[in-house]
Structure 1
Amino acid sequence: MINVKSKGSNRFAFENERALCLTQVIKRTENNVTKKMVVRDKKMGIDFSVIIPLKLKKNGEVHYYPSKEFTVRGKKVGTKNTMAKYYDSLGEWESFKSEFFDTYSLTVNKLIYKEAIVK
C-alpha cells in the first residue's frame, strides 16, 4: 500500500508499510531543489529528518548531492553521517532502501520536478 498526498507544489506526504515521510521543498531554482524529509520508520521505531539537495540532469535523472543536517530522534548526528551510513550501521540500509527509499524517491522526486516543469 502506497499513499501519496500533495499539499501544493512544495509539500508532499508519502506513506507505505515501512515508513511515513513528510517532504517540504525549502529552496527551488530551475533544476535545483533542496528538500527536507521528516521520516518515521515504522519498522525500526526511528524518527529522523534530513535535508537533501537535488539536481535534475538533462537526461531526466535526479542527482543527489551530499545531505545536510541529518537528525535522528531530535539530535544532530554529524555532517558527514548520512541516512545510508546510519542505516548501514544498524544493518538495515538494504532493507530500508528497497522497502521505502527507492519507491519514495521515484514517486516524490517525480512530483517535485513535475511541479517545477509546470511553473
Structure 2
Amino acid sequence: MRGLLAGSVDALVTVIGGFTLATLLLREKTGPDYWLPAVGCLLAVSFVNHVLLTVPVRASLGKLLFNVRMIRMADGGRPHFWQAVRRWVAGFFYQPVQYLLSQVHMQSDTDGEDLCGLLKAH
C-alpha cells in the first residue's frame, strides 16, 4: 500500500510541479506554444524527482514520505545513475502495462522486482 501512496504523491509532485514551472516560464504562451514546452516541464520535474533525487537519497519525494527506498538488487546499495534513468524511462511503459494486468487479475508474483535491477525496500 505504501508503494501505491508513494506513487500517487510522486504523480502529484510531477503534475503540480510541472505545470507550476510551465506557468512561470511560459506566461505569455498559449495553445501549442504552451503545451509542448509544458510537457517538457512535466518531464523535467519527473526526472529530477525520480532520478536526480533517487540516486543520492534512494527515494523520490513520495517514497521519502512513506519510508520506501530504492536499492540495487545485487548488493542493496544505492541505485546507479543509469539504473535510475532506465527505471524512469521504463516507468512510462512498464507501469501502465502492470496496472492493466492487475485489473484483469494477471499480476506477476514478482511485484517488488524491477526491470532495472532495483527493488523497493520498506
Give the TM-score normalised by structure 2.
Answer: 0.26
Q: Which has the higher strand share?
A: 1
Q: Which has the higher helix share?
A: 2
- RCO comparison, higher one (Cα < 8 Å, 6+): 2
